[in-house]
Amino acid sequence: MFADQRSKRVIFVAHCILNQNAKIDRCAHYPGAIRELASYLIGSDLGIVQLPCPELLALGLDRQADPGLPSTVESEDTRVASRMSEEDAAGVCRRIANDVVQQIQEYVRNGFEAAGVLGINGSPTCGVETNWRDGDEAPGPGVFVSCLQERLRLAGISIQFRGIKARESQQAVMAAGEFAKTHSR
């Protein structure tokens, strides 16, 4: 089955890696995708699965910001972190996590390799090694990544997670390179 040119290797990436337009105001570092990382991934022969953006789905593109209130990136990250911990938004994270686990299971069942998950460190939802909490970057995964890791654990699936920073494109490429090299056939 699948006797064609596909690599049968996929990587799952946070939505904003390929679409910076989904970021909160003043947090997009590129007009579209994180160029260097996207170019590397395309050249790596890994299939690229873009994860949905939990914040966009739960809070909207403007993250339900009050345009009448002055804000900073830090205050908005803190507000979004708080909102994403609320039950409705956490439910969105659980639903997305269940869908992603189903996709991973389908790939694995058909002999594909799920090479890893790339998240965005410092994100309240998609952070891997760090998230945003109480006005500052804090250790630990964000709301969505935590939920996804738990759902994968319950499904008995082991997959590596790495967090990157959009501003640190060369480190991001190196993180993706670890998946491409470590998991090559």
Classify burial at 100, counting beta carbons within 10 Å of its beta carbon; exposed 0-12, middle 13-18, buried 19 or more. buried
Query: What is the architecture, at CATH level 2, of domain 9-182?
Result: 3-Layer(aba) Sandwich (3.40)
Angle subtended at Cα 84 by Cα 80 and Cα 89, rounded to the nearest 5 degrees: 135
- Residue 119 near residue 70, CB atoms below 8 Å: no
Structure tokens at 136: 């500052």
Q: pLDDT-derived band of residue 5, with 50, 70 and 90 as boundaries?
A: confident
pLDDT in tens, 104-152: 999 999 999 999 999 999 999 999 999 999 899 999 999 999 999 999 9
pTM of the model: 0.93
pLDDT in tens, 22-77: 998 888 899 999 999 999 999 999 999 999 999 999 999 998 888 888 888 888 89
As a whole number of Å, the end-to-end CA separation of the chain is 17
CB atoms within 10 A of CB 89: 22
Domain-wise residue ranges, the chain: 9-182
